């Protein structure tokens, strides 16, 4: 249990459970290949069985950290900051994103969309999950829809999600990492037959970078 004062700071988004931060190359989706500083916020209750960062799920394992400290540090590294998790939208992203934007940084989010949108974003990557579907505010504002393909049924799920997201969103299919040998060739065929979709790979894993 957090002390009451700290809990109040977390509730208003002035402190957030920080898991890790790292400067790397965006490995996935529309901005693949571009330098970005990643901030990973702990806490997620969506429960994807193939999640590649299960250590993030329990927010209590990650120290509540003042956003000023997070922002001052991030500004040293890059012009683009990616907020990920865990599920960042479990927390109020308002103060974090406004403080980053005050420093003229571009602010991107990686989200399942399972919670209502908070914060001001330059780019929203929505990766919807069957277990806990996105909220309307995230469908309406996503710049990118990135559906993970673990099995053949996920292509049907992807089309259902493409119907729900706003029409300006770019559409991506990304193989689940442990199934990539089986699923990547299916994704390649699918995109050639349905060219509104694009392929996204977790290129940072091929590059052996964070
Ligand atoms: C770890 S999640 C954190 C952000 C948010 N909870 C979400 O799911 O979008 C970051 C991205 O990694 C993707 N991802 C997680 N595990 C994966 C895996 N095993 N293979 C491929 N993509 C994965 C997610 O779908 C998401 O797009
Ligand atoms: N390089 C790199 N690119 C990423 N794109 C989304 C990531 C994430 O975990 O949210 C991620 C990540 O963990 N590393
Ligand atoms: S929503 Fe994101 S962080 Fe949460 S379990 Fe799924 S992939 Fe992992
Ligand atoms: Mg990752």
Distance CA 46, CA 65 (A): 23
State whether the beta carbon of 46 lies less than 6 angstroms from ligand 3: yes
Q: What percent of the chain has pLDDT over 90?
A: 99
Q: Is 44 annotated as a binding residue?
A: yes
How much is the average pLDDT of 114-134? 98
How much is the average pLDDT of 71-84? 97
Over the range 77-108, which residues count as b (16 or more CB within 10 Å of their CB) and which as e?
Answer: bbebbbbbbbbbbbbbbebbbebbbeeebbbb
How much is the pLDDT for 186?
A: 99
What domains, with CATH codes, occur in the chain? 4-207 (3.20.20.70)
Q: What spacing in Å lies between the alpha carbon of 52 and ligand 1's midpoint?
A: 7
Identify the residues whose C-beta falls under 6 Å from ligand 2.
Answer: 24-28, 38, 84, 110, 204, 210
Give the SS3 label for residue 178.
Answer: helix
State whether the beta carbon of 25 lies less than 6 angstroms from ligand 3: no
Pocket of ligand 3, candidates 52, 87, 154: which has the most ligand atoms within 8 Å of its Cβ, to mutate? 87
Q: Is 52 annotated as a binding residue?
A: yes
How much is the average pLDDT of 126-142? 99
For the cut 80, the answer to whether the pLDDT of residue 1 exceeds it is no
How much is the pLDDT for 2?
A: 84
- Whether ipTM > 0.95 holds is yes
Pocket of ligand 1, candidates 47, 108, 112: which has the most ligand atoms within 8 Å of its Cβ, to mutate? 112
Q: What percent of the chain has pLDDT over 70?
A: 100
- For 3-44, the pLDDT digits (tens) are 999 999 999 999 999 999 999 999 999 999 999 999 999 999
Task: Tell me if the pTM is above 0.80.
Answer: yes
For the cut 90, the answer to whether the pLDDT of residue 67 exceeds it is yes
How much is the average pLDDT of 78-84? 98
């Amino acid at each position: 249990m957090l002390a009451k004062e700290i809990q109040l700071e977390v509730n208003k988004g002035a402190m957030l459970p920080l898991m890790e931060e790292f400067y790397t190359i965006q490995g996935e989706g529309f901005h693949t290949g571009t330098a970005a500083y990643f901030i990973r916020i702990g806490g997620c209750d969506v429960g994807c069985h193939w999640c590649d960062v299960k250590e993030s799920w329990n927010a209590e394992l990650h120290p509540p950290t003042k956003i000023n400290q997070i922002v001052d540090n991030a500004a040293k590294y890059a012009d683009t900051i990616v907020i990920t998790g865990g599920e960042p939208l479990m927390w109020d992203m308002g103060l974090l994103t406004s403080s980053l934007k005050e420093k003229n940084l571009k602010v991107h989010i990686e989200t399942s969309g399972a919670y209502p949108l908070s914060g001001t974003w330059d780019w929203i990557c929505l990766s919807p999950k069957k277990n806990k579907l996105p909220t309307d505010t995230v469908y309406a504002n996503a710049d990118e829809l990135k559906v993970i393909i673990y099995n053949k049924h996920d292509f049907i799920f992807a089309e259902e999600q493409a119907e729900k997201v706003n029409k300006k969103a770019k559409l991506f299919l990304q193989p689940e990492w442990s199934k990539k040998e089986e699923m990547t060739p299916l994704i390649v065929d699918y995109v050639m037959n349905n060219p509104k979709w694009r392929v996204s790979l977790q290129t940072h894993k091929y590059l052996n970078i964070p």
